[in-house]
Amino acid sequence: MRPGIALIGLLVCLLSGIWGSGLPAEAATTERVVVNRFTGVAIEGFDPVAYFVDGRAVRGTAEFEANLWGAVWRFRNEGNRASFLAHPEVYGPQFGGYDPADIARGVTVAGNPRFFAIAAQRLYLFSREANRDAFAANPERFLYEVGKRWPALLEQLGQ
């Protein structure tokens, strides 16, 4: 009977590791930039410049890393790394990678780098596909609400 219990425990541990990996719940939501709380890697290792260059989410590699804003950023090549370091305010996700739709509601929820939008030449990450779609339909409305709430939320994140 004991080997069966041990096997069930092992399976639960393995499955929770598989299903839990990469979910926003693993991201630190007390920091000004969303990072993996175990590795310090921002936006799950996706290359922030690739959203602009390739129009899609592309994973970076440890070979091309940069440290900025207390986070490790990964890139797919040296050119993207150099572009980011030259203009991090352009290529970095707005609001530190927090979902602007949730910020508009007054809460900070880590964005998922697979759900993104580029509006007014800035990158936004969303916790859910529905949030991205709502934002894309009327970014000005969301950004107006975010503008009212973000300063207080940002102050809370820095504490």
- pLDDT per residue as tens digits for the range 126-146: 999 999 999 999 999 999 999
d(CA 133, CA 116): 9
pLDDT in tens, 74-86: 999 999 999 999 9
Q: Is residue 4 part of a domain?
A: no
Q: Is residue 3 part of a domain?
A: no
Of residues 120 and 31, more confidence is placed in 120
pTM recorded for the entire structure: 0.80
Q: Is residue 147 part of a domain?
A: yes
Cα→Cα distances 75→145, 149, 151, Å: 32, 31, 29
Q: Is residue 20 part of a domain?
A: no
Q: Is residue 123 part of a domain?
A: yes
pLDDT value at residue 32: 84
The two tokens of residue 111 are 């964005």
Query: Judging by beta carbons within 10 Å of its beta carbon (0-12, 13-18, 19+), is residue 33 exposed, middle or buried?
Result: buried
- Taking a C-beta distance cutoff of 8 angstroms, is the pair 115, 128 a contact? yes
Confidence of residue 6 (pLDDT cuts 50, 70, 90): very low
Q: Is residue 19 part of a domain?
A: no
pLDDT score of 4 more than 50: no
Domain region containing 131? 26-157
Rg (C-alpha) for the chain, rounded Å, is 17
Q: Is residue 9 part of a domain?
A: no
Structurally, the chain folds into a number of domains equal to: 1
Residue 149 neighbours by CB distance under 10 Å: 17
Q: Are strands 35-36 and 27-28 parallel, antiparallel or unpaired?
A: antiparallel
| CA nearest to 57, candidates 129, 154, 138, 140 | 129
Q: Is residue 2 part of a domain?
A: no
The two tokens of residue 93 are 């996700």
